[in-house]
C-alpha cells in the first residue's frame, strides 16, 4: 500500500512533468524572432497619469507646488500655457529631462535655480517618470 509520502512524491513528479510540457509549449510562441526588432520600438513605456499624480504629490510638489503652477524661487509652472519647454518637448524628452535635472548654469535655465536629477528622489523608477509626464499632460 502507498503511504502518504509516496503519494505526495508521485504527485510532485506528475506536476513537474506537467510543468515541463508547459515549458515546451511556450517555445513555438517565442519562435517568430524576426518580427521582434520591428515590434520592439512600438512597445514603448506607457505612462499612467493617475499613478503619476501620486509621484508628483510625493516629490515634485515640493518645488512646483500642489497645483503645478510653480513656487516662487523654487520651481516653475509645468502648465503648457506657461512653459514652452513642456509644451514643445515629447514625452520621452521630458522623461530624459527629469532623469537628468537642470543645473543653475545650464544654458536652458531661466530662473538661476537648479532642478536636481529625478527631482531629488533617487527612488523614482523609469516607469514613474513616464507616469509623472502623463500626469503633466493632464494639466490644462
Ligand atoms: C528641488 C526642487 C525641484 C523639485 C523637487 C523638482 N523640480 Fe522640476 N524644476 C525645478 C526648477 C528650479 C526648475 C526650473 C529650472 C530653470 O530655471 O530652467 C524646474 C524645471 C522643471 C521642468 C522644466 C520646465 C521649463 O519650463 O523649463 C520640468 C518639466 C520639471 N521641472 C518637472 C519636474 C518633475 C516632474 C518633478 C518631480 C519628479 C520635479 N520637476 C521636481 C525644481 C525642482
Q: What is the pLDDT of residue 31?
A: 55
Q: How far is the CA of 64 from the centre of ligand 1 (A)?
A: 7
Q: Which three cell numbers stand for residue 11?
A: 504527485
> Is ligand 1 within 6 A of the CB of residue 60?
yes
Ligand 1 geometric centre to CA of 14 (Å): 57
Banded model confidence at residue 23, pLDDT cuts 50, 70, 90: very low
* Res 39: pLDDT: 53
- 105 Cα: distance to centroid of ligand 1 (angstroms): 14
Would you say the C-alpha torsion 57, 97, 133, 84 has a positive or negative sign? positive
pLDDT of 42 reads: 58
* Cα(35)–Cα(46) distance, integer angstroms: 21
At 83, list the grid cell: 512653459
pLDDT of 64 reads 98
Say which residue, 10 or 101, is predicted with more confidence: 101
Give the list of residues 6+ apart from residue 92 with CB closer than 8 angstroms, or none: 44
- Give 45's pLDDT tier (boundaries 50, 70, 90): confident
Read off the pLDDT of each residue in 33-56 and give the average, rounded to a whole number: 78
**Are the CB atoms for 101 and 114 separated by under 8 Å?**
yes
**What CA–CA distance (Å, rounded) separates 53 from 58?**
8
Query: How far is it, in rounded angstroms, from Cα 29 to Cα 102?
Result: 45
Q: Give residue-wise pLDDT tens across range 6-17.
A: 656 655 655 555
pLDDT at residue 85 is higher than 60: yes
Mean pLDDT of the chain: 84
The fraction of the chain above a pLDDT of 90, given in percent, is: 67
Amino acid at each position: 500500500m502507498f503511504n502518504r509520502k509516496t503519494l505526495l512524491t508521485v504527485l510532485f513528479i506528475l506536476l513537474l512533468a506537467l510543468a515541463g510540457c508547459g515549458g515546451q509549449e511556450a517555445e513555438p510562441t517565442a519562435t517568430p524572432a524576426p518580427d521582434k526588432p520591428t515590434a520592439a520600438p512600438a512597445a514603448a513605456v506607457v505612462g499612467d497619469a493617475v499613478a503619476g499624480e501620486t509621484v508628483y504629490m510625493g516629490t515634485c510638489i515640493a518645488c512646483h507646488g500642489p497645483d503645478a503652477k510653480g513656487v516662487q524661487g523654487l520651481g516653475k509652472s509645468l502648465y503648457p500655457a506657461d512653459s514652452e519647454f513642456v509644451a514643445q518637448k515629447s514625452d520621452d524628452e521630458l522623461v530624459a529631462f527629469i532623469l537628468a535635472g537642470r543645473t543653475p548654469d545650464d544654458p536652458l535655465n531661466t530662473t538661476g535655480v537648479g532642478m536636481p536629477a529625478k527631482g531629488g528622489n533617487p527612488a523614482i523608477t523609469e516607469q514613474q517618470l513616464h507616469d509623472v509626464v502623463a500626469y503633466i499632460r493632464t494639466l490644462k
